[in-house]
């Protein structure tokens, strides 16, 4: 699967993480499974409306942006 680097202009959710679009009815379970399979994953950001699963690989952003700062409809799961 192709993982894309998100940034604040491209995502309404979180910045600096990898994401995968989900289509399954068990989206959150699939998102957690992706994190479990990816050894560098520290947590996930889940955006149910956009069916977006962000895999968090680091808890701080090198450019100084707060990686874990939420916006409406986004949920962070560690």
Contact predicate 77/43, CB 8 Å: yes
Cα(14)–Cα(1) distance, rounded to whole angstroms?
A: 20
5: β partners: 18
Q: Which of 12-16, 62-66, 70-74 has the highest mean pLDDT?
A: 70-74
Instruction: Show the domain range for 44.
Output: 4-77
Q: Is the pLDDT of residue 43 over 60?
A: yes
Confidence grade of residue 70 (pLDDT, cut at 50, 70, 90): very low
Domain of 43, CATH number, reads: 3.50.4
Q: Which of helix, strand or coil describes residue 23?
A: coil
């Amino acid at each position: 699967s192709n993982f894309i680097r998100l940034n604040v202009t491209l995502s309404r959710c979180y910045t600096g993480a990898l994401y995968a679009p989900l289509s399954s009815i068990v989206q959150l379970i699939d998102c957690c499974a992706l994190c479990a399979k990816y050894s560098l994953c520290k947590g996930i950001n889940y955006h149910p409306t956009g069916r977006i699963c962000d895999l968090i690989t680091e808890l701080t952003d090198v450019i100084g942006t707060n990686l874990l700062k939420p916006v409406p409809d986004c949920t962070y799961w560690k």
